[in-house]
Structure 1
Amino acid sequence: SLDICLEALAANATFVARSFAGDAKQVEALLKAAVSHRGVAVLDIISPCVTFNNHDSSNKSYGWGKTHEVPLHELNFIPSFEEIEIDEYDDEREVQLHDGSWIKLKKLDNDYDPTSKMMAYETLEKARDAGTFLTGLFYINDEEPNMIERLNMVDKPLAHLGDAETRSSRESLQRIMAEL
């Protein structure tokens, strides 16, 4: 089957994550992080339809997704001006979700690095082979120049630029015509 996150990695997206609609806290954190990312961000949100194919034997149902979700890690969006705080826990921790249900979080191995594209590929492939519903931030690369930087675009919105800033000079047009 098609894995949007694997496809995003292959297409060189610089932010790749997946979440489950039933985990509002993780969805919110990943959405904030994706929107603030200056590169190409792909966020695959698994959101089962509550009316179509929503029965216990369907692997597209809300219940199946909730039962088979395996969080990659617990996320929270941390703006640069906000103090970083980490709740310490050993290997596992039970957390109550917004709907009152409980999930058991299992920490990633300390060697998981979301800045490693190869580790993201391997993690996603293993989860797909195991039929695991893995969620979290798989890959982020803030070092890669984004499209605005590559195209040397200005920060000012194009709609606010005047004619002098958007039109080529007569001399530059004549140079181009001479080269043709």
Structure 2
Amino acid sequence: MNTTKRPAPSARAPKTNILGLEKNEYRGRPSTLCKGCGHDSISARIINAAWELGLDQTQVIKLSGIGCSSKTPAYFLGHSHGFNAVHGRMPSVATGALVANRTLTAIGVSGDGDTASIGIGQFKHAMRRNLPLVYIVENNGVYGLTKGQFSATADLGQQLKYAGVNDLPPLDICIEALAANATFVARSFAGDAKQVETLLKAALSHRGIAVLDIISPCVTFNNHETSTKSYSWGKEHEIPLHDLDFIPSYEEIEIDDYDDEVEIQLHDGSWIVLKKLAEDHDPTDRLAAYRVLEEARREQKLLTGLFYVNEEQPDMLELLNLVDEPLVSLPTELLRPSRESLEEVMAAL
């Protein structure tokens, strides 16, 4: 009888990305949000997108304001920098961080209250400056952190158990972004993992401001069937504008010219491939973006996808003519003007 033990099969090597990192390396702390919250689904998509793109977490800064959504940066990219600002002020902090260090990849997570109410002014000016920031709005129509009051995106006539009836029309995040000249405008639904992830990859490769309005149901205060921010309403009414795919620039590919697809090359050589379905939508046409958004709002449709992209407009850091070296790493003698140069300025006055 042969008693020799057979060697144990070798364990399968864990899957790694282009940096040689496993996906677990891109996770953050355990979530403290309500079980089933759409925000957790978005955090998972950010983890996947960042891992697949091979982002260097040490060169990523996560920013947020106040609200349930603004807690979520703790739940992804645990090795990156983070700053939790005061209510509605996330764009200001992002501006300062990016001017000081233009090499950072900035991901801002906000909510419909943090953006569309107290932060609407800062939101608008971040758009018009084309700040190089991925601006994610986790939109649930309520103030989930303070017991479910209506936010500025709540439906007209919506009724909640504790808040009564909303008698004000909602703000549309995407229309507001377009009006403020944002160069990348998209909407998705937290329950549509594939689309959210694809849009995140495209946004992370965009040169300038990239706004993602993601309908993210609040399972505690706003998940009833009549709400346009609920899971059931979203699943039933979501109408994808197009099928989306994202092809990273480090993959050598050749794309054939199909009649039913529109290809948009991003500044770093990456591509968004848009396959037209029922809607013949050109995402480079700003007026067309207004039209489809307004029609969807009027017809109570949850239209998702990439509404608008503009790769021609320079971002804020280009307009400031900043030097290539990040300001944060420049020595004092290069940052501080000499006595002679100051005297020349004063003499000129």
Q: TM-score, normalised by structure 1?
A: 0.81
CA contact (8 A) 1:69 1:135 kept: yes
| Aligned positions of 1:64-143 closer than 5 A | 64-82=233-251, 83=253, 107-110=277-280, 112-143=281-312
Match of 1:101 in 2: none
Equivalent position amino acid for 2:345 in 1 = I
Distance 2:278 2:334 in 1: 50
SS in 1 for 2:246: coil
Who is 2:313 aligned against?
144
1:154 is paired with a residue whose SS is: coil
- Structure 1 runs (4+) deviating above 6 angstroms are none
Deviates more, 1:9-18 or 1:77-86: 77-86
Partner AA of 1:107 in structure 2: L
Match of 1:41 in 2: 210
Listed one character per residue, the Cα deviations across residues 75-118 of structure 1 (whole Å, up to 9, x for unaligned) are 122222332668x9x9xxxxxxxxxxxxxx971444x2111111
Residues 1:162 and 2:337 aligned together: no
With 35-44 and 158-167 compared, the bigger mean Cα shift is at: 158-167
Secondary structure (helix, strand or coil) at the match of 1:74 reads strand
What's the secondary structure of 2:242's corresponding residue? coil
**Cα gap change, 1:108 to 1:148, in 2 (>3 Å):** farther
Whether contact under 8 Å (2:186, 2:307) holds in the other structure is yes
Q: Which residue of 1 aligns with 2:50?
A: none
| Residue 144 (structure 1) shift | 0.5
Which structure exhibits the higher relative contact order, with contacts defined as CA atoms closer than 8 Å and separated by 6 or more residues? 1
Corresponding residue SS for 1:172: helix
Q: What residue ranges of structure 1 are gaps of 5+ in the alignment?
A: 91-104
Matched, 1:178 2:340: no
3-state secondary structure, aligned to 1:75: strand
Unpaired runs of 5+ residues, structure 2, are 1-169, 261-274
Q: In the aligned structure 2, how far is the partner of 1:164 from the partner of 1:77? A: 44
- Name the structure 2 match of 1:5: 174
* Alignment partner, residue 95 of structure 1: none
Q: State the identity as a percent.
A: 65
1:60 to 229, 237, 241: 229
> In 1, are the aligned partners of 2:242 and 2:279 still within 8 Å (CA)?
no
SS across alignment from 1:17: strand
